[in-house]
Structure 1
Amino acid sequence: MRAGFLRSRHFSTAKRLQSLVSSTPRPDFSPHNTVILTEELCANVLDRYPDVQTLRKLHLKILISPHLHCNSSLGIKLMRAYAARGEPKVARHIFDEITEKDVIFFNVMIRSYVNNHLYHDALLLFKIMNSSGINPDHYTYPCVLKACSGSDNLQVGMQIHGAVMKVGLDSNLFCGNGLIAMYGKSSYLVEARQIIEEMPRRDVISWNSLVAGYAQNGLFGDALEVCRELELSGLKPDAGTMASLSLAVTNTSLDHVLYVKEMFLKLAKKSLVSWNVMIAVYVKNSMSAEAIDLYSQMEAQGMEPDSITIATILPACGDLSSILLGRQIHEYVKKKKLCPNLSLENALIDMYAKCGCLNEARAVFDLMKFRDVVSWTSMISAYGMSGKGHDAVTLFSKMQHSGLSPDSIAFVAVLSACSHSGLLDEGWYHFRLMTEQHKITARIEHFACMVDLLGRGGQVDEAYNFIKEMPIGPNERVWGALLGACWMHSNMRIGLLAADQLFQLAPDPSGYYVLLSNIFAKAGRWEEVTTLRSIMKRKGIKKMPGASNAELNGQVYTFLAGDQSNPQSKEIYEELESLLGKMKAEGYVPETKSALHDVEEEDKESHLAVHSEKLAIVFAILNTEPGTPIRVTKNLRICGDCHIAAKLISKIAEREIIVRDTNRFHHFQYGVCSCQDYW
């Protein structure tokens, strides 16, 4: 090798190196320092991958050292150290100065490129290596296969697979793992599976690579099955297994959730990725309470959340209206300066919106340096859910003026906002804007919004005719919107037609049976109600019980109708009785049609008095300071009687009461609801 090969084009002179040094890190390798360099000292420092400034100073010392500047071992270590510090160009300059290169130099340089995601450069160097007559080895091929995976270059990857087989390295563990990863990422899962089955030896990485392949292709269930195979092989899933699963966390079966939980609990060492995956699995499967509990455990164990953790847990806070935890997390985001971060900021908007905190959601939105369609859509949806249809429409217009083109989901948000506020003309305008100007083909969600818009507005016949003219077949959401409108406006004729369609499309959900039963009950047709309930009983269909959640000191409390499981039940019922007396003094008359049972009026009143949302509201009154806003989340549509009661309680208790049901938000204050009794 030519003497002085460590000289690089960027660092050819001591003067140039010294100009790059702005401070004196330890150890001190500046030119004026008298420290005596030995190969051992340099090797020890380089193996620790020092910071760039220390690295440059040491590099300079080596360059001017008569006994070190041509040391090939230090040349390799310098290349690795520069690459590890994100300086692959400097590593390449050192590499290019070498006149006689062997396979080790090429391997180090290829790996430097791959580790810095410069996959195209890695493949080009591999091509030069072949043309130079240097034979790749079992270290070269895994790196090059990773470059093929990273650059989605399946064609070159298959050529390398052929070369690997030709030289007999297809049985090599590292080459096999590289092939599995490459084929898996390219969606060639049959080939990836074949590779692992033919391997004489497999390690955890082999299985994790296959798990990642299935996960990257959205096959979460198949990925979990591979995890089971991993365990059956005698190996244990590790943090890498959880990291592989993180590539596709989706809604899955309860058995799969329990398996992931079991895998997580067995991990000897839980990385942040492992916690993030487990939280995401809970959130994706509507297990928000479990997600929040796990997040609390993570914090208690001293694991610091990152932006991915935060963006994952915020939807759970929104689902449970856990505003206290949501605000604490937001403060953490500010403290750690995690913003600007688009996905995190969008998650904050969504969380505040789901908690009914419009002002806070808008504050996050207004402070964003960059907004995408998701940001605008989340804010538009937030206004729509709170009955502020005009604000939603105005914001939608501003989004268009900002230069962004709304997508199909943004149109769902604005159409839904129009529906919740009874903005019939605006709804039609935006539907035509979508189809005629933006040339977006209407999807089933848009048709469902239009049926809901017409039906809520009392145009039930028009809604039915709209369905008959749809270019695609209506699904249960469309017919369900029509059935809801029929209940709202007591239209039994069309209600029966809608119910007939629903029972064919979705014979199992209890909600549609209950809705039709309520239509019959409102009309006093108790015989039909009894018949319908008999059908439900015969089919084993049970009505979903109404449940309401209230948060207190970071803990979520759940109430059912007539619930007496809460330790404060006695105080809750006493306070409720007192409030009912004050409500009646204000003119309250129970809306007994909300208790749709063929029983005496007095029994109906007793049933209405203990609805879950009333219990949750009273619980919050008893346990919070006067003037504190009350937030309640209901899993069903709020009934008419509870709506009246909440208005009166907000006036009597001088509290703002925010109820989120399955359809929207109701902000009760001073005896008035934000929905203006239109919901």
Structure 2
Amino acid sequence: MTRNVEALQLFDNFSQKIASLRHLNSPAATLSEAKQAHANSLKAGLSTQTHVAAKILSLYANHQCFAEADLLLYSLPQPDIFSFTTLINASSKYENFRHTLKLFVKMLAHRLFPDNRILPSVIKACAGLSALKLGRQLHGFGLTSGLALDSFVESSLVHMYIKCNALTYARKVFNKMAEPDVVCGSALASGYAKKGDVNSANMVFGEMEKLGIEPNLVSWNGMIAGFNQSGHFFKAVSVFRSMHSDGFRCDGVSVSSVLAAVGDLEDIIIGIQVHGYASKLGLRSDKCVVSSLVDMYGKCGCALETLRVFEEMDQKDVGTCNALIASLSRNGMVDDALKTFKKYRGQGMELNVVSWTSMIACCSQHGKDTEALELFREMQMVGVKPNSITIPCLLPACASIAALAHGKAAHCFSFKRGFADDVFVCSALIDMYSNCGRIQAAKQCFDRMPRRNLVCWNAMIGGYAMHGMVKEAINIFQLMQSSGQKPDFVSFTSLLSACSQRGLVEVGKSYFNSMSGDYKIEARMEHYACMVSLLGRAGKLQEAYSLVNEMPFEPDACVWGALLSSCRVQHNMELGEVAANRLFELEPKNPGNYVLLSNIYAARGKWTEVDKVRDMMKNAGLRKNPGYSWIEVKNKVHMLLAGDKSHPQMMQILEKLNKLSMEMKKAGYLPDTDFVLQDVEEQEKEHILCGHSEKLAVVFGILNTSPGTALTVMKNLRICGDCHTAIKFISSFEKREILVRDTNRFHHFKDGVCSCGELW
């Protein structure tokens, strides 16, 4: 009887073991079945048997459950090479490369060495992580062990070296391959093309044919895409032509790649030819081709053709819609871009973060700053999460209208999403805070950056320059060099601008001369414009004019404009007429140039000449740009226009302004009527001065904020001398710190003094 019971127990145990193995031989087993098999094997005491463990590991690997697989693997007292092979190959296949290398190290710790099944997967992981040093060590192991002669190992080495940008090593492996194939040859040729090495790319492509390797469609596409990526656009088009002449039938990838190159070349004739060829191939419904056509026509400035291509598409998707928005934006058609965006959003198209970001960037770049902020708000309301590209696109809009509250909100959002340390986000934050008058906040962003690129350094130098803080700008410039970062032409533009703000003629000359001498940077138009402005503001107008005449290239409107502005400051009518006449030729439709000359005449009392300039403007169909200022109060931006009576608080503003005017006169202040460009009575001139937008904005801020609150006002034109004097008085009388940003710089008014030192 006892023997029968023992026999039954043995049979029952055997049955359990058989049940535990039921799902192990089924590759299609679900994750639940895999876990059940694992549990049964634990109960039956079979989990430590290597052949059973290998099958369970395979099931876990198929479902990418690497945590569970690791627990099982590490529980084995003596795991074999097959157990590691299963997991290493699976983690590499699913691009979990760090886990691949972790398993590989664990395998070596067990004194197990890779074979020709494991080594390619580990080399692939090195390629994915750009771990060139480890990849070379594996190559060395392959050479000593003989595994490097295996065709799969050779192929993986070639691809690893290409992805790690070590093309010399890739070429050596390729040349020693017993049986080089089209995949390795194509990858190597494409790698050289991406690097811009035309000769090597052509050489490898030619060697393939000598070795009897026939290039395929992937080979040609890799060359076209590679040359396009490296900026060799003519070469990309040339390869496309060769491909066609050799009888290869192009596909959507070929056409899309060459269209990108044609767009960058802005060669509309070739673009039309490729368009026609794509139509013959029946690729007009290919979404990638249509997106590339939209992009190409946009880069070539053919906005109507862009719209036509898009509208002819049968099934429009978010990708082509994004391409259209970018194309319209590139051509300044922001209203059409907005209309397209709203149209397809209304039709239920699921626009993604790229769509919203493109539209925000479009509005921000073309003066529709309020619309950009509204789009950012709507984007979050519909559940589309902004990314590290969206924020730098939004912040210039905040900077442009000094919407500090919105800028701060975007900054906080960046912290929450974890990309506040992104160099592009940080650069945009530095610029935003600088433009909103918060230069210390900009410096704090700069100081907290874990790493900095040239854009960040330039943004900080530019911020200090805008605030007239030349010492600080020079300090950042010197710190940039000591950190190993080389300055570029933008660095010197900001530096020279800072010197110009403070009238540091000799310092500015020194930096200007050192550009070519010490840094091998040839002076550009903007550098000459800064020098002309620097000399002109310092009263050295003749020297400035001589510099203009000695320039190695023809001066543009920016240089002559700097000279004309300096003539306005120095009241030099004769030289001002010379500069203005050149500007009338270069920019006949710019009303600002006519206004500046008119200002010079008005300051001299030359009313006949003032009338002549006005007649010139009238005949040209031009009108003076209206002066307006804006101020942010309680998270809302308020705009005030010069002479505008429609503002709901205008009566209170004018009443307060009159009271301040009386206090100013008691203190000995007299309105500077030279800044009134009309031939009217003195009393009327004083009345006109009271209507200047910067004064209205300052008084609006005083009326709507608590006593002692700092005010920040933005103006679309240069602040006039009378307003400058008046705001100095108001800052002292009202005990307020007032910041005014005009088109030239920031003015910090405090206790009756301005930071510009009267150099503006």
Q: What TM-score does the superposition give when structure 2 sets the normalisation length?
A: 0.72
Displacement of 1:151: 8.3
> What is the number of equivalent residue pairs in this alignment?
633
Displacement of 1:252: 2.8
- Measured in 2, the distance between the counterparts of 1:326 and 1:335 equals 14
1:55/1:146 CA distance change after superposition, 3 Å:
farther
- Measured in 2, the distance between the counterparts of 1:85 and 1:28 equals 25
Identity %: 36
1:620/1:76 CA distance change after superposition, 3 Å:
same
**Corresponding residue to 1:228 among 299, 308, 331:** 308
Secondary structure (helix, strand or coil) at the match of 2:40 reads coil
> Retained in 1: the 8 A contact 2:182–2:214?
no
> Retained in 2: the 8 A contact 1:321–1:354?
yes
Query: Does 1:242 find its partner at 2:327?
Result: no
> Retained in 2: the 8 A contact 1:220–1:245?
no
1:195/1:567 CA distance change after superposition, 3 Å:
same
Displacement of 1:337: 2.6
Give the structure 2 partner of residue 197 of structure 1.
279
> Retained in 2: the 8 A contact 1:620–1:630?
yes
Give the structure 1 partner of residue 378 of structure 2.
297
Give the structure 1 partner of residue 13 of structure 2.
none
1:292/1:224 CA distance change after superposition, 3 Å:
farther
1:514/1:160 CA distance change after superposition, 3 Å:
closer
Query: Does 1:176 find its partner at 2:176?
Result: no
Supply the AA of the counterpart residue of 1:127.
V
- Measured in 1, the distance between the counterparts of 2:643 and 2:244 equals 71
Displacement of 1:243: 5.9
Gaps of 5+ in 1: 1-24, 97-104
Give the structure 2 partner of residue 506 of structure 1.
587
Secondary structure (helix, strand or coil) at the match of 2:39 reads coil
**Corresponding residue to 1:257 among 302, 326, 334:** 334
**Corresponding residue to 1:482 among 546, 563, 566:** 563
- Measured in 2, the distance between the counterparts of 1:391 and 1:177 equals 51
- Measured in 1, the distance between the counterparts of 2:430 and 2:578 equals 40
Secondary structure (helix, strand or coil) at the match of 1:535 reads helix
- Measured in 1, the distance between the counterparts of 2:396 and 2:459 equals 12
- Measured in 1, the distance between the counterparts of 2:634 and 2:620 equals 42
- Measured in 2, the distance between the counterparts of 1:81 and 1:33 equals 26
- Measured in 2, the distance between the counterparts of 1:151 and 1:506 equals 37
Supply the AA of the counterpart residue of 1:299.
Q
**Corresponding residue to 1:284 among 365, 372, 379:** 365
> Retained in 2: the 8 A contact 1:212–1:223?
no
Give the structure 1 partner of residue 6 of structure 2.
none
**Corresponding residue to 1:53 among 57, 63, 67:** 67
String of CA shifts for 1:439-484, please: whole Å, max 9, x gaps: 3211111111111111100111221122222222111111111111
String of CA shifts for 1:4-61, please: whole Å, max 9, x gaps: xxxxxxxxxxxxxxxxxxxxx9997599533899xxx99998787x464357689999
Question: Higher relative CO (CA 8 A, sep ≥ 6), structure 1 or 2?
Answer: 1
- Measured in 1, the distance between the counterparts of 2:39 and 2:223 equals 42
**Corresponding residue to 1:33 among 34, 39, 42:** 39
Query: Does 1:665 find its partner at 2:746?
Result: yes
1:223/1:479 CA distance change after superposition, 3 Å:
closer
Displacement of 1:139: 10
Secondary structure (helix, strand or coil) at the match of 2:739 reads strand
Correspondence 1:529-568 to 2 at 5 A: 529-568=610-649
1:423/1:79 CA distance change after superposition, 3 Å:
closer
Displacement of 1:614: 1.2
- Measured in 2, the distance between the counterparts of 1:498 and 1:167 equals 61
- Measured in 2, the distance between the counterparts of 1:290 and 1:441 equals 39
Give the structure 2 partner of residue 361 of structure 1.
442
1:604/1:627 CA distance change after superposition, 3 Å:
same
- Measured in 1, the distance between the counterparts of 2:355 and 2:752 equals 48
Give the structure 1 partner of residue 513 of structure 2.
432
Displacement of 1:558: 1.4
- Measured in 2, the distance between the counterparts of 1:556 and 1:485 equals 32
- Measured in 1, the distance between the counterparts of 2:72 and 2:295 equals 40
- Measured in 2, the distance between the counterparts of 1:148 and 1:443 equals 30
- Measured in 1, the distance between the counterparts of 2:65 and 2:119 equals 15
**Corresponding residue to 1:525 among 599, 602, 606:** 606
String of CA shifts for 1:125-156, please: whole Å, max 9, x gaps: 75369999999999999899878977899999
Give the structure 2 partner of residue 127 of structure 1.
183
1:53/1:136 CA distance change after superposition, 3 Å:
farther
1:165/1:350 CA distance change after superposition, 3 Å:
same
String of CA shifts for 1:307-337, please: whole Å, max 9, x gaps: 1111111111111111111112222222333
Secondary structure (helix, strand or coil) at the match of 2:630 reads strand
> Retained in 2: the 8 A contact 1:455–1:463?
yes
1:467/1:318 CA distance change after superposition, 3 Å:
same
Give the structure 2 partner of residue 100 of structure 1.
none
Secondary structure (helix, strand or coil) at the match of 1:33 reads helix
String of CA shifts for 1:259-303, please: whole Å, max 9, x gaps: 322232214111011111001111222222221121122122232
String of CA shifts for 1:476-496, please: whole Å, max 9, x gaps: 111111111111111112112
Supply the AA of the counterpart residue of 2:415.
K
**Corresponding residue to 2:488 among 365, 383, 407:** 407
Q: What TM-score does the superposition give when structure 1 sets the normalisation length?
A: 0.79
> Retained in 2: the 8 A contact 1:353–1:361?
yes
1:78/1:153 CA distance change after superposition, 3 Å:
farther
Give the structure 2 partner of residue 613 of structure 1.
694
1:672/1:81 CA distance change after superposition, 3 Å:
same
- Measured in 1, the distance between the counterparts of 2:296 and 2:97 equals 27
1:245/1:542 CA distance change after superposition, 3 Å:
closer
Supply the AA of the counterpart residue of 1:557.
H
Query: Does 1:390 find its partner at 2:467?
Result: no
- Measured in 2, the distance between the counterparts of 1:496 and 1:565 equals 38
- The structure number with the bigger radius of gyration is 2
Supply the AA of the counterpart residue of 1:176.
G
Displacement of 1:69: 13
**Corresponding residue to 2:728 among 647, 651, 660:** 647
Query: Does 1:208 find its partner at 2:284?
Result: no
Secondary structure (helix, strand or coil) at the match of 2:706 reads coil
> Retained in 1: the 8 A contact 2:60–2:66?
no
